[in-house]
Structure 1
């Protein structure tokens, strides 16, 4: 048995136990850094450190406060807040009190928030601000089990004027004060709760944002998070010397699993969930590691391309040349690594790469803070050409794979052995097999206990012997790398009997068109494929300035013949690399980019295909009106 296998076999029951070990090992090391806006409201944020010892003090106070409120083991505490150090400390406090966290996206409307809190049986809600508080005030009659609401923003921990509610409202600061007082009288109460935690005890209920229907509560145990913490350490995705920038929504399993790994590894975590601050934060935080979803990398790539194009023909040609060199360099060095174990390239290409690095790649790395050595992409498919570009530019994107039902991190690429277009090898302890129809099946400690209160739906995906049906189609290489080819339910079968993986075509289009926001390939039971295309507003406005259309609004631009011709050129370029039955015969530009607010993207930025197809059904039918055989 290897050291890794031994460690996994002997892992403690929970992340709460790991926290005690971490604090004992490195009490004075920095655990978190978090931004504090200036009192004047103007100027840059001040990034403050929090050591492991200081963090543990707050966690224990939160845990004791929850116990003082009457929280019992496995009772649910919902968390509806933006990503922040307070979110993480609250989550750890819930865990140390023996409770189970129910995560809620703060963007969730009042109706769905009520559903999640009621379905989970949440007794306590930890809310970001008055906006989140107002949601449960509105639905209070439908939340009979809710006894307390704790608000992170102290000034907003009050009921709206004239409102009464059957639950107590207090701030996180007040909860911590009450917890500290309770600890003075009962100094061992939190450690006793931690000691009583069992591996199979419920730790988290994460409700899948789902692309269809009501969200389902995924039950994840304490042992699952402990296993994930050890698995992340074993992959060396992060190491003790790293500074990881965390902005991902912690209501999503991808962000949540990173917090478990952080406790085990003990690196610095710089936390700020304000998405509009990412570009501003990177040069300040100067992270060595960062995780993101593909849409972020696509936006960065499109932004760089648009900026180069706005700089004139010469700059844009240099960028295009450098982008091509990056992709060629990445493809060749990765292929050579598979053959020889070394990343090498022909001398001529290496010389071109060195020139391109000075002209383009180094500036891109500076925009990431100058210290970035690796990023991880998950939650959805990354377009390979985007991945090859970043890899060749010295910012390798290590693709990973997992689902909420498998606690996010089932597969991941590692260090030098990474392969663009593949999601790596399984974490130690994770079993995989490919079913006869190509579906990926997983088994191991990371797999959920089941869907909360839904035994029939659980039985549909989870076999009695522990094999979980992912719903994804994939293939395994001889040396154990996994490639995801599509969602089982998303495969398109044309009326001519040809199967098409829409995400593959969509990914290729994102790589060739720097103006795309989202793209949806249509073709199921049709005789040819079409596409709905939304455009990225900043990139499009940059193009408009260059095209002599400056002053036109975004709405005017997307309806213009010039924009149609622009996208038509990229569609033709895409089609050149596709099989005949995959080619896009027609497309329509949408009046706006797709977003979470309109329900077309999940909070983790996955496309809700049925919603988009229904909402823009008239455009789809128009593309097939009077269709002839292709």
Structure 2
């Protein structure tokens, strides 16, 4: 058993079929399966010649790229261990990963990664060599070499090392919203069995004709496991290095599948709503009619019921008049979009469903090789995170905590036996740290993170994520953080969506010099107070936000306020804005 075995199968079955796509200058290039196998095998042999043996660690410190995935597969093929480092990590964050894992070789992406790696050679005794992806980066250290030069003399022939299912494949350092990142140990068996379970669960037809677009960081277990799954099934995967270019590249790449986080879908949803609201009454009427028809049509498909001819004709018209234009901006071919990393509102999943884009909502952690439960292609239930994968068991333990067993569960945290012991029960169940419920049909619903649950001084429990989602689904709210722990009532820090707010300020003839000026304007403050009250009108009184503070900027990753997977580090934010928070509770 070796994750990389699919290279041999696919090179035999689809030798000339495109395997991977990548940006090359202004356009896109690709490698077929035969060529990809050759590149991976040459890279694997070069690693062996550099002294890398079974069990040695190879770090990858780069944005998504063809080189990222070829180095990963080459490392796995010879039985070594891939250690991904987020491309956004600072030198000190990367240093923690290298020191803890004992990585011997590091692949770098851009100049900043290379410069950081040079400094790490002095500070990390295990690190022996830097491999530089970009040929235009000047080699300035004798322990570094360009990737092309590194692999050029290596042989194309390789026997992929046969691994046992409990042999270590990768150590992934959790981005974590709290504490020091811990190295999650995942085995070859975790991945291979997870792939088999997904194919059994979905029963895809002609999967080798699919095309996935990797735009989430490969360092994260979600994108990495999905990408390897897609490739193992013979599908093509294209890699986007510059994630900010997603909107302009989607129509060019035209993928059929792509995984993302809820915020991506929220932004699309908000943008469409804004466009419709500023359209003529006739266009609004056509859009709402199309959405209604799409909802009816896909509700019957979801329930596996026959669709009347009249509804099919209406849907074809709705698709021509409305949906095709929206889907065209997403490339025109997207139909399957795994969605995870945080909770997503049912109305957004239903909205995409009506257009014929299936948001495959799922739930899992790095420690569970991503997926524990997810939506099937039909009979899924909105508002849940779907049903468990084959080979996975889930039950609800004390304090409503979700406990899991099965193929994807990690071996433990690297070098952290005490931390490992804390997350397993005596009888071997993994403690997810999330609260949830399971209904009669076996659908799992996440209610919140145990560590995120807040208890007011009145003894009421507040689940922040649902309310924060409610707020950020609105076009005027970019980010929201609820405060309630140990307090007498709920408050919130709100980051406005300044693009929409500035448009409103123009309409209201509000003059301002900066965002700080804008958020202090009494008209703006009153507007947000009214908006928050309107959005939360259906919440219980103890859940309602009593006061808000508007912030002049987004939460930033480089300031430690967000993780590389765009989750807000609640503890950091609460500490950083402590004075502002205290101000909201003065006199109480």
Q: TM-score, normalised by structure 2?
A: 0.93
Post-superposition shift, 1:519? Answer: 0.7
C-alpha change, 1:491 and 1:324, in structure 2 (3 Å) is: farther
SS at match of 2:258: strand
Name the counterpart of 1:4. Answer: none
CA contact (8 A) 2:57 2:83 kept: yes
Superposed CA offset, 1:283-322 (max 9, x none): 111121111001111122223333445x46x36x955994
Determine if the alignment matches structure 1 residue 126 to structure 2 residue 107.
yes
Name the counterpart of 2:248. Answer: 280
Determine if the alignment matches structure 1 residue 228 to structure 2 residue 194.
yes
1:207-606 matched pairs, under 5 angstroms: 207-236=173-202, 239-309=207-277, 311=278, 314=280, 322=287, 326=291, 330=295, 341-342=304-305, 360-463=322-425, 465-511=427-473, 513-549=474-510, 553-606=514-567
> How far apart, CA to CA, are the structure 2 residues paired with 1:282 and 1:23?
27
Name the counterpart of 1:77. Answer: 58
> How far apart, CA to CA, are the structure 1 residues paired with 2:568 and 2:319?
34
Greater Cα offset, 362-371 or 446-455: 362-371
Name the counterpart of 1:41. Answer: none
C-alpha change, 1:282 and 1:527, in structure 2 (3 Å) is: same
Superposed CA offset, 1:527-567 (max 9, x none): 21111111233333344444445886444433333332332
Name the counterpart of 2:171. Answer: 205
Name the counterpart of 2:154. Answer: 179
Structure 2: runs of 5+ lacking an equivalent: none
C-alpha change, 1:18 and 1:427, in structure 2 (3 Å) is: same
> How far apart, CA to CA, are the structure 1 residues paired with 2:354 and 2:472?
18
SS at match of 2:75: helix
Superposed CA offset, 1:415-434 (max 9, x none): 12233221111111111111
CA contact (8 A) 1:157 1:169 kept: no
1:621 equivalent among 572, 582, 588: 582
CA contact (8 A) 2:2 2:77 kept: no
CA contact (8 A) 2:83 2:103 kept: yes
2:10 equivalent among 22, 25, 32: 22
C-alpha change, 1:155 and 1:459, in structure 2 (3 Å) is: same
Determine if the alignment matches structure 1 residue 114 to structure 2 residue 95.
yes
CA contact (8 A) 1:329 1:353 kept: yes
C-alpha change, 1:337 and 1:242, in structure 2 (3 Å) is: closer
CA contact (8 A) 1:534 1:590 kept: yes
Post-superposition shift, 1:32? Answer: 1.1
C-alpha change, 1:356 and 1:610, in structure 2 (3 Å) is: farther
> How far apart, CA to CA, are the structure 1 residues paired with 2:203 and 2:150?
35
> How far apart, CA to CA, are the structure 2 residues paired with 1:237 and 1:246?
22
Structure 1: runs of 5+ lacking an equivalent: 1-12, 38-44
Post-superposition shift, 1:139? Answer: 3.5
- What's the Cα RMSD here? 2.7
Post-superposition shift, 1:217? Answer: 0.3
CA contact (8 A) 2:78 2:161 kept: no
Determine if the alignment matches structure 1 residue 31 to structure 2 residue 31.
no
**Runs of 4 or more above 6 Å deviation:** 332-338, 349-356
CA contact (8 A) 1:319 1:360 kept: no
Name the counterpart of 1:67. Answer: 48
Q: TM-score, normalised by structure 1?
A: 0.87
Greater Cα offset, 106-115 or 429-438: 429-438
C-alpha change, 1:232 and 1:136, in structure 2 (3 Å) is: same
CA contact (8 A) 1:303 1:539 kept: no
CA contact (8 A) 1:130 1:158 kept: no
C-alpha change, 1:302 and 1:335, in structure 2 (3 Å) is: closer
> How far apart, CA to CA, are the structure 1 residues paired with 2:293 and 2:506?
31
Name the counterpart of 1:170. Answer: 145
SS at match of 1:471: strand
> How far apart, CA to CA, are the structure 2 residues paired with 1:386 and 1:153?
40
Post-superposition shift, 1:343? Answer: 7.9
CA contact (8 A) 1:228 1:260 kept: no
C-alpha change, 1:587 and 1:334, in structure 2 (3 Å) is: farther
> How far apart, CA to CA, are the structure 2 residues paired with 1:476 and 1:426?
10
Post-superposition shift, 1:607? Answer: 1.4
CA contact (8 A) 2:512 2:518 kept: no
C-alpha change, 1:474 and 1:299, in structure 2 (3 Å) is: same
Greater Cα offset, 525-534 or 378-387: 378-387
Post-superposition shift, 1:620? Answer: 0.9
CA contact (8 A) 1:220 1:448 kept: yes
Post-superposition shift, 1:262? Answer: 1.8
Superposed CA offset, 1:72-96 (max 9, x none): 1111000011011211111101111
